[in-house]
A and B are shown apart, each in its own frame.
Chain A
Amino acid sequence: MSLMNVFNISGTAMSAQSVRLNVTASNMANADAISSSIDQTYKARHPVFQTILDDYNFGETGTTGGVRVAGIVESQVPATREYQPDNPLADEQGYIYRPNVNIIEEMANMIAASRNYQTNVEMIKASKQMLSETLNIGR
């Protein structure tokens, strides 16, 4: 039954988008987490989405499918170095390191993820309505 598959498909999209929201929250929470060495500084993370086409749960023909998080990659932008000799975390030269999190980019990501999540909730609602009307045929 194809309409049942819409639940699976939109469900995977919702879970993928919630992973994205989690990652964004982690980035924003650590945006000001300074450290005294460049290796220990938090790096911004971003999920990479991938289509699921090989799962038997979705469509008999393998032509429709949901989405999954294929992996989470760390941003390669170098951490910013700042001269703050008074900071207790400063290294011998008096420098601290700030994470490479771009707050504006993260805000945009957050809005996109939550909008996409909402869209998929709407899809499930619409399919639910279609299904319940179908169940009422002939009543």
Chain B
Amino acid sequence: MNLDNIFGIHAKAMQLRSYRAEVLATNIANAETPNYLARDFDFKQVLQSVADERSALKVTRPGHIQAGDAELMGEDLMYRVPEQPSIDGNTVDLQIERAEFTRNAMQYQASVRFLNGKISGLLRAIKGE
């Protein structure tokens, strides 16, 4: 029994969600830095590519290299298209960033709940209640 299969995509999703929280925190921290360009990544696409990579690189022998955990991060960052460009070259829209951060936090917590549900299910099965 492989725990990775039981927990499914949630572990990867939480990793990506916490990275996205970091990216959005960077945007908000630099809300008033001249020439700073707000960045973000397409969560769905990156999660898809992480999931694909995991299934593509199967470890069938000792010595095979496992697919990296967080290597995709970084190069997937894209620049946000500003809705209201400002004269100092900063493209952070605080409202959008805060809304996205809150959404991201809620989705992270949803993953946490799913994991909790799986674990309590497992525990129940172990105890034989």
Q: Do A and B bind each other?
A: yes
Using a CB–CB distance below 8 Å, which chain A residues touch chain B?
Answer: 1-3, 5-6, 9-10, 12-13, 16, 48-51, 58-67, 112, 116, 119-120, 122-123, 126-127, 129-130, 133-134, 136-138
Place the interface of chain B in its size category. 20 to 34
Contact: B39 with A63, CB < 8 Å?
Answer: yes
The segment from B19-27, B45-53, B54-62 found at the interface with A is B19-27
Q: Which one of A63, A119, A127, A137 contacts B74 once the chains associate, using CB atoms below 8 Å?
A: A63
Q: Which one of A12, A63, A134 contacts B23 once the chains associate, using CB atoms below 8 Å?
A: A63
Contact: B18 with A120, CB < 8 Å?
Answer: no
Contact: B115 with A137, CB < 8 Å?
Answer: yes
Task: Encode contact with A along B87-127: 1 for CB under 8 Å, 0 otherwise.
Answer: 00000001000100110010011001001100110000000
With A2-B22, A63-B77, A137-B116 as known contacts, state yes or no: A50 contacts B33, CB within 8 Å: yes
Whole-angstrom CA separation of A12 from B120 in the bound complex = 39
Whole-angstrom CA separation of A62 from B74 in the bound complex = 8
Q: What is the CB-to-nearest-CB distance from B115 to chain A, in angstroms, rounded to a whole number?
A: 5
Contact: A138 with B119, CB < 8 Å?
Answer: yes
Summarize B's interface: helix, strand, loop or mixed: helix
Q: Which one of A1, A61, A112 contacts B18 once the chains associate, using CB atoms below 8 Å?
A: A1
Contact: B112 with A134, CB < 8 Å?
Answer: yes
Contact: B21 with A3, CB < 8 Å?
Answer: yes
Within 8 A of A (CB), among B22-45: 22-23, 25-26, 28-34, 36, 39
Contact: B25 with A112, CB < 8 Å?
Answer: no
A12 partner residues in chain B, CB cutoff 8 A: 29
A120 partner residues in chain B, CB cutoff 8 A: 28-29
Q: What is the CB-to-nearest-CB distance from A122 to chain B, in angstroms, rounded to a whole number?
A: 8
